[in-house]
Structure 1
């Protein structure tokens, strides 16, 4: 179904319990994520970016509204079906590089472990060459820079066979040179027609987006289609 967006959100609300009572983190969010390109959830801290990314990643279930993945209403699915969709189609990259990786494993073994977690096999050498990490297969993670570690995290998503990569503030913990490596990797994935969704307040990452969902205080403040179409 080429005309169906990868994600469709309608009236999505997310609540969190706190000692002071229930707090609404996202109010009535509605937007779509196309099948190709980079969609950026942009806004200041506390605007709901990471919360919405967890909803898209089928980690959190919204309190209200509908979330469709490739035409399937995920809000109607049980836990096992949601877990299978995550395993088979979605790769998540967290903002802390080492949160994405197993520190006691070598570079190649991290890729192989990621593939096995999705019941797949992978060509680790090809993935490392694609990431500019050729000849590092036997290295330990501590031999890589922060940017290289984050690149490897994207590689783990590829090893899992994920068609969709969700990244939460992937450059926020990196210096400029390391962030450049990650931005280059994201641009490469977009060029290869992956669906990439990133939550970020990094102006350089936002500039790469083909669609930007602007968030403010848990609400969608506007959707900018960089191809010049009304979104």
Structure 2
């Protein structure tokens, strides 16, 4: 069963075509990595899938809903109810504790539940850091709070934009280990990354070049293949 379908997605910014007739399907429970050089359209594609932008042409179907038919308010509801977002820059509220940052996400979805929020932190190994502010957490810990926040409302799709971009190797491996467990549990994950070592963890990888899908690999990307594709794309 497909959880996501992109049908002829095009995105124009004046005379610049950021995306050019993208067709893509993602199966429920799949882990997909998106790679490509700067300017290839990765962020634009992520923003469209995440309901933050509307394409110039084409349709996005998420969990059976054609997003092109929805007004702005409807897209906000889809983003809130069906998508869990993990960012490179964390975007945690600085004056709220780790626990409170997760409960804010609950508030906008339904209602806060402290026990459930604590369980989400425990899942990412941070229950004992629940009362700490973001400034009291390491980069890896902040990213794990972001993952817990993304999961708290049981999204149909997890979108991760460069989730390890600001982390050292040890924290990168820890965060990727969490994603691996989520994938094993059946979660659908799309990861945008510039790092072939991260893309290798996914079961499938597509490579963008000049707004098109230039290449794709099943069972992740091998470093040499991706480097070659990106250089030529």
1:203 aligns with 2:229: no
Compute the TM-score of the two structures, normalised by the length of structure 2: 0.88
| 1:39 aligned residue | 32
> Of residues 107, 114, 120 in structure 2, which corresponds to 1:127?
120
Helix, strand or coil: the match of 1:185?
A: helix
> Of residues 79, 82, 102 in structure 1, which corresponds to 2:93?
102
Per-residue deviation at 1:29? 0.7
User: What are the equivalent positions in structure 2 for 1:160-171 lying under 5 Å apart?
Assistant: 160-171=153-164
> What is the rounded CA distance, in whole Å, between the counterparts of 2:153 and 2:70 in structure 1?
22
> What is the rounded CA distance, in whole Å, between the counterparts of 1:41 and 1:80 in structure 2?
28
Deviates more, 1:66-75 or 1:145-154: 66-75
Compute the TM-score of the two structures, normalised by the length of structure 1: 0.89
> What is the rounded CA distance, in whole Å, between the counterparts of 1:153 and 1:117 in structure 2?
16
> Of residues 5, 8, 11 in structure 2, which corresponds to 1:8?
5
| 1:57 aligned residue | 50
> What is the rounded CA distance, in whole Å, between the counterparts of 1:109 and 1:66 in structure 2?
36
Per-residue deviation at 1:71? 2.4
> What is the rounded CA distance, in whole Å, between the counterparts of 1:160 and 1:104 in structure 2?
22
Task: Structure 2: give runs of 5+ residues left out of the alignment.
Answer: 221-233
Per-residue deviation at 1:40? 0.7
> What is the rounded CA distance, in whole Å, between the counterparts of 1:206 and 1:220 in structure 2?
16
Per-residue deviation at 1:190? 0.8
- Asked if the contact 1:120–1:160 (Cα under 8 Å) also holds between the matched residues in 2, the reply is no
| 2:147 aligned residue | 154
- Asked if the contact 1:68–1:74 (Cα under 8 Å) also holds between the matched residues in 2, the reply is yes
> What is the rounded CA distance, in whole Å, between the counterparts of 2:110 and 2:46 in structure 1?
24
Per-residue deviation at 1:135? 0.9
- Asked if the contact 2:183–2:189 (Cα under 8 Å) also holds between the matched residues in 1, the reply is yes
Per-residue deviation at 1:224? 2.4
> What is the rounded CA distance, in whole Å, between the counterparts of 1:70 and 1:213 in structure 2?
21
> Of residues 164, 168, 177 in structure 2, which corresponds to 1:175?
168
Helix, strand or coil: the match of 1:10?
A: strand
Task: Structure 1: give runs of 5+ residues left out of the alignment.
Answer: none
- Asked if the contact 2:46–2:192 (Cα under 8 Å) also holds between the matched residues in 1, the reply is yes
RMSD, aligned CA: 1.5
- Asked if the contact 2:63–2:156 (Cα under 8 Å) also holds between the matched residues in 1, the reply is no
Helix, strand or coil: the match of 1:82?
A: helix
Per-residue deviation at 1:160? 2.7
Q: Cα deviation per residue 1:48-84 (whole Å; 9 max; x = unaligned)?
A: 1111011111111000111111222111222222211
> Of residues 168, 175, 188 in structure 1, which corresponds to 2:181?
188
Q: Structure 1 residues 120, 213: CA separation in 2 closer, same or farther (over 3 Å shift)? A: farther
- Asked if the contact 2:85–2:159 (Cα under 8 Å) also holds between the matched residues in 1, the reply is yes
- Asked if the contact 1:13–1:25 (Cα under 8 Å) also holds between the matched residues in 2, the reply is yes
